[in-house]
Amino acid sequence: MKTWGETFSAIFESDDFTPLTVCTEEQYQGIVEIFPYNDITLSMARFPKSFPFSSFVLQIYQQVKVFIDMCKSYTDRLNLSQTEIGERVRKTVNLMLTKTMSSCLTKFIKNRRLSEQQLAQVIINVTHLSECELDLEKYISNLTRTDSEDGQISRLYGLSTFKDALQEGEESFQMKFLSQVSLILDGANYDWLSKAAPTGPSPYLLDTLEYIRARYDAIFTLPNKDMVQRLCVNCLRHLAQAMEKLLLDPSSPFVSMEGIRRFSVDVAKCEEFLTTCKVPGLKVESAPMFIGLRQLVDLFMNQEWANYITEFKNPTLNKYPYVKPRSVAELLTKLKEADRQKKIKLSLSAAAKKDRQKYLELILKRLRGLDETQ
């Protein structure tokens, strides 16, 4: 099995992670004769046209058939019955697929530094390989003149055990994807004390959304729609969490109402992105990723801190059910400190400013009380 492991690893390493493209009918037929892929839309498309998978799918499929032939040739010399030959071949092939090939593929995904686009292609390739199990079972049946459907011998199931490799591919894709989103957001230089009215979303956010949109093009090509939805939703959730972290970052101790209004424009851009990116199977109205941010920002722009505290434990009255008292307290502390240290100018008398500080301190005390009861 070690030699076969080296063969599979070499095929994975040499792949260009580019969908196979054909320019003539002869080239097209050459591929479908090797690998059982039937897509009416692709067959009717004009040349040049591309298959969804790259070359390693063809090479792996061919090598598996060579392995099957070798197993049959070996068992023919063991003086076994036809049923025993069919059983032995299937067990050996299953062992090779579940142990050797699956292990090689998982290690390849884990150890090699693949880009998001390359990881997406690997996921597509593995999915198509796992779907050709019935064709290989038929190949074994014809070769050994045995049928796994009669219940006397085990069936071929090895390709369906590529779940570990698919999971590793999904996790690696998500880790790279979210890490890059965080990297872009970490470069954000937000002016929380800005006096100017917002003219549009922040450049850092536009860069982030552009990056996400480009990667969604790769994600949307994945055949497993549940995986597509998971990756997209996790990315949007990560973006919302990163933006909240940016808003509440203790290293920025001050914030003005104008700064919160500017941030609100960014939240609105995220909400717009959610409605336009059209994640398969995701109902926008039930997607809570940015609801918490929106409610937190609205709470401050409406300055309804007292109402929030009063209505907090009444779910039928609470206008801000997704907002945590701790988040309100942290942001309000920044606003209070900016006011106290005259980082922002308020058109108030000295007495009024003092009363405002007392009011905000009272609100903060009550918010901390709410947080302790959660």
Q: Is the pLDDT of residue 16 over 60?
A: yes
Whole-number pLDDT of residue 116: 86
Between 58 and 82, residue with greater pLDDT: 58
8 Å CB contact between 181 and 119: no
β-pair partners for 227: none
Average confidence score pLDDT of the chain: 87
* Exposure string over 66-90, b if 16+ CB within 10 A, otherwise e: ebbeebbeebeeeeeeeeebbbbbb
pLDDT in tens, 308-321: 999 998 888 899 99
Q: How many helices (H) and strands (E) does the chain have?
A: 16, 2
Per-position DSSP letters for 137-194, written without gaps between them: HHHHHHHHT--GGGSSSPPP-GGGGTHHHHHHHHHHHHHHHHHHHHHHHHT----TT-
Ramachandran angles phi, psi of 304, nearest 5°: -100, 40
Q: How confident is the model at residue 221 (pLDDT cuts 50, 70, 90)?
A: confident
Q: What is the rounded distance in angstroms from the CA atom of residue 64 to the CA atom of residue 8?
A: 10
State the CB neighbour count (10 A cutoff) for residue 11.
Answer: 20
β-pair partners for 50: 21
Q: Is the pLDDT of residue 372 over 60?
A: no
Q: Is the pLDDT of residue 285 over 80?
A: no
- By C-alpha distance, which of 317, 306, 310, 325 is closest to 370? 325
- By C-alpha distance, which of 129, 117, 118, 158 is closest to 37? 129
Amino acid at 209: L
Average of per-residue pLDDT across 145-169: 74
Interacting residues of 7 by C-beta distance below 8 A, sequence separation 6+: 63
Q: What is the rounded distance in angstroms from the CA atom of residue 227 to the CA atom of residue 174?
A: 11
Q: Is the pLDDT of residue 373 over 60?
A: no
Average of per-residue pLDDT across 350-354: 67
Supply angle C-alpha 270, 257, 294, rounded to 5. Answer: 30
8 Å CB contact between 288 and 322: yes
- By C-alpha distance, which of 248, 237, 361, 346 is closest to 297? 248
8 Å CB contact between 235 and 274: no
Whole-number pLDDT of residue 81: 87
Average of per-residue pLDDT across 225-253: 91
- At how many degrees (to 10) do helices 257-276 and 291-301 cross? 150
Tell me the percentage of the chain whose pLDDT exceeds 70: 92
Q: Hey, what are 83's tokens?
A: 């049923």
Whole-number pLDDT of residue 153: 66
Q: What is the rounded distance in angstroms from the CA atom of residue 187 to the CA atom of residue 360?
A: 32
Query: Which of 21-35, 41-55, 56-70, 88-102 is predicted least confidently?
Result: 88-102
CA 317 to chain centre: 35
DSSP state at residue 21: E
Q: How confident is the model at residue 348 (pLDDT cuts 50, 70, 90)?
A: low
Q: How confident is the model at residue 19 (pLDDT cuts 50, 70, 90)?
A: very high
Q: Is the pLDDT of residue 301 over 60?
A: yes
Interacting residues of 361 by C-beta distance below 8 A, sequence separation 6+: 336
Q: What is the rounded distance in angstroms from the CA atom of residue 107 to the CA atom of residue 103?
A: 6
Per-position DSSP letters for 306-351, written without gaps between them: HHHHHHTT-TTT-S-TT--HHHHHHHHHHHHHHHHTTSS--S--HH
